[in-house]
Structures are given as structure tokens and as C-alpha cells.
Amino acid sequence: MTAPRPPRHAALLPGLALACMASLPALPAAAQYIDGPYVAGGVGLNLVPDTDLNLDQAAVRGLGAAGFGAGGSVGLSPGFAGVLSLGWGFGNGLRAEIEGSFRSNDVDSVSGAAGWASLGGGTGRQESWGVMGNVLLDLGVIGPVMPYVGIGAGYVATEWNGVRGISQNGALRMTIDDRDGRFAYQGIAGLAFPLSFAPGLAVTAEYRFLGTLQPRFDARWDNPATGATVARGTAEPDNYNHSLLLGLRYAITAAPSAPAPSPAAAPQASRTFLVFFDWNRADLTERARQIIGEAAQQARTQRSTRIEVAGHADRSGTVPFNQALSRRRADTVAAELVRLGIAREEIAVTAFGETQPLVATADNVREPQNRRVEIIVR
């Protein structure tokens, strides 16, 4: 029914991710992968390791001529991180999103290196704004949790706002007050906790590593007593961020849970039609079109108010591939019902992949009766 499983040593990141997905249990019907648009956001703690200043040759010569060693580092205290994303889920665990982010950390120390006199308690702040494009992969449900991983790339502007330090002997003052934008990259690992009382809504907990190419800032070293500039040059600090975030994610098109039937309601008569498919196909045969036509006629005869269309697959492919294929089959049948005059809002489409076979088989077995769509006319 589906293409063979991918080779174990195929392309690095996608191959590893698919292997992880295949090893995890299939999603229950109540917690399916995101299919369609979603929004997400999170706030939390941002940690920035101490960074060396990495001075250019003009600064090195100027400081050396003034009798100071050419070096130094800046320490930053724990700060704030916030992200906001707009994304799209493809129904098989894969998601793509655009993200905007903001991070802020205060400077808590400026110190010397390579023989430069230590600078006392620093002042100022590092702030950054970024736009990233991310690709993420939901790894399946483990109990109440859906773990996910992702990577991203984009652009981040970093600003050192009023960063200053004074040497212990008071003979040297450093000032950096500049902004620069660079290519940025990130890795994401998170956990989503779907909320059963709010379909589509989940609480998220994430770790994000964000790095950029070294920004370049104009720097100045002055004599505080005279105000004379001792040296000028550029500093290129490393820029690595470790962010711990809590947030919310909402799948905009998530279907609400069906309300519980009233105890006094009379049971509704229903009829089931089975539409079968060729291996690895989602198009309709002539016999399939006849069966769908019979289902449409039955819906008109009994004045049906709800038609359930459920796609299924056999076990001859990977779990995520079969999930997506069963969805395509269900969508094909729903489209034919609409063509035959059934209102789209009366059709409920679901996809079960290989989780509900008519005939139980071992993995990688092609079973024609499991390659089907069930139409239930209520």
C-alpha cells in the first residue's frame, strides 16, 4: 500500500527523525498530529555564557601602545526570552513555522584577559531581535506528552546598549554601544501537553539553543581622568543563547470533541459502505465510484445529517507515511461525495493510518482489505 521503509543510513537529520517516529506508538484518535495552521508562543529564561571580546588589530595596537594588554571578556546575568510563531502542520508530524523572538540580558561583569587590568562591575545590556524559519517534527504520543524536535535558521540583530567597564586602577574605561545583525541558527527540543478540555490547545515546555555569527561592534577605550580616547577598534563577541520557555500552542483547525448524546435521544440507524484502494494509491476505481454513489443515494434517502469518512492503510510502509496516505484516501472519498451533491459540512473526515485493520497482519504485509475508506451514513 505504501512505499518501502527508507534506508537506515539515508540523509542525516530526516532519516534519524523518521526512525524515531517509527519506533514510537501510533497516535490515538484523540491526539492526532496538527493538520493546518497553528499559532504558538512562549516566555522564559535566557542564559548567555561569558564571551571574549575578540578585538581587531586597531584596538590591539592602541591598547598595547597605552600599556594595556589587548583582551577582555563580558559576563551577562540571566535574562528574558520570548518567542511568537505562526506555523502549518502537515498532518504527519512534520511542521513548518515562522518565528519572531526577543531576548534581553544585563551585563554583570567586564573582566580583563591576556594581562589587561581587570575591569570592575560592568553596566549595560545585550538585546536581540530575530526572525527565524523553523522545521519541527512531532515524535508521537508518550502517555499524556508529545515530544518534538526542530531546527531553524534566520536573521538576528544583536545590540550592546551602554556596555561599560572601568579598570580597577581607574586608568581605563571601555564603552561599547552598537548594533549588528547576523545569520542565526537554532536547535529546539520540547514537550507538548494537549489539553483534553480545549481541542487544539496544548501547553509547551521548550529548550532552545540560538547562535549567530559573531556581531561586530565599534568599541572605544578612554582615560576617565582626561576624557582622551586611548584606543578605538571593533569587538566581535561570541553570541550563544540557551533559552528555557513555557508557552501555549493552538491548532486553529482542530475539530471540537463531539458532544455526548442525550440519554433520552433515540438511537439513529446507520449504514456502512467500504471503498477499497490499490496498493500505495489514493485514486478511485470505477467500482469505488459506484460504492460512493450508493452511499450518497443512501444519505439522500434517509435524509442523513452526518456522514463519517474514515481512511485506513495496511502495514506495508512506515507509520507516518501510512497516516498521511489514509488521510489522502479519506479526502478523495469526501471530495467525490461533495461532487455527488453532499454538503461538505455534513462530512466528518478522519484518518487512522494502520491502527485499525480489518485483518490483523505482521508489519510490512500488504493486505487489500486494510486499504480502505469506511463511509458511515447516520
pTM (global) more than 0.85: no
Identify the pLDDT of residue 331: 93
Answer yes or no: is pLDDT of 363 > 80.
yes
E strand or H helix that includes residue 62: helix 57-65
Polymer length of the chain: 378
Confidence class for position 300, pLDDT limits 50, 70, 90: confident
CA dihedral sign of residues 361, 362, 363, 365? negative
Contact indicator for 153, 105 with CB cutoff of 8 Å:
no
- If phi > 0 it is left, if psi is from -120 to 50 it is alpha, else beta; for residue 53 that is alpha
Tens digit of pLDDT for each residue in 72-121? 788 899 999 999 999 999 989 999 999 999 999 999 888 764 334 445 56
Report all structural domains of the chain as residue ranges with CATH numbers, in order of start: 35-251 (2.40.160.20), 271-377 (3.30.1330.60)
Which pLDDT value is given to residue 108? Answer: 87
CA distance 5 to 2: 9
> Can you tell me whether residue 28 is helix, strand or coil?
coil
DSSP string of 87-141? EEEESSSEEEEEEEEEEEEEEEEEE--TTPPPB-S-EEEEEEEEEEEEEEEE---
Q: Which of 129-143, 220-234, 318-332 has the lowest mean pLDDT?
A: 220-234
Residue whose C-alpha is closest to residue 132's, from 95, 97, 176, 157? 97
Band (pLDDT 50/70/90 cuts) for residue 187 is very high
Residue 6 CB neighbour total at 10 angstroms? 16
Least confident stretch, 111-115, 220-224, 266-270 = 111-115
Residue 21 pLDDT > 70: no
| pLDDT over threshold 90, residue 226 | no
| Residue-wise burial string across 268-301, b where 16 or more C-beta atoms lie within 10 A, e elsewhere | eeeeebebbbeebebebeeebeebbeebbebbee
**Average pLDDT for 256-284:** 72
Q: Which of 43-47, 165-169, 174-178 is the least confident region? A: 165-169
Q: What is the mean pLDDT of the chain?
A: 83
Percent of the chain with pLDDT over 90: 49
The CB-side HSE value for 275 (13 A sphere, CA atoms) comes to 33
Q: Is the pLDDT of residue 305 over 80?
A: no
pLDDT at 129 over 60: yes
Q: What are phi and psi of 268, to 5 degrees?
A: -95, 140
Letter for the amino acid at 177? D
* Rounded-to-integer distance, Cα 176 and Cα 76, Å: 14
Assign 26 a pLDDT band (cuts: 50, 70, 90). Answer: very low
Cell of 278: 490499490
pLDDT at 17: 39
Answer yes or no: are the C-beta atoms of 165 and 118 closer than 8 Å. Answer: no
- 332 near 283, Cβ under 8 Å? yes
Per-residue confidence band for 51, with pLDDT thresholds at 50, 70 and 90: confident
Beta partners for residue 165, in sequence order: 174
pLDDT at 168: 66
* One-letter identity of residue 35: D
The pLDDT of 50-68, averaged and rounded, is: 77
Cα 194 to Cα 199: distance, rounded to the nearest angstrom: 8
Is the pLDDT at 159 greater than 60? The verdict is yes
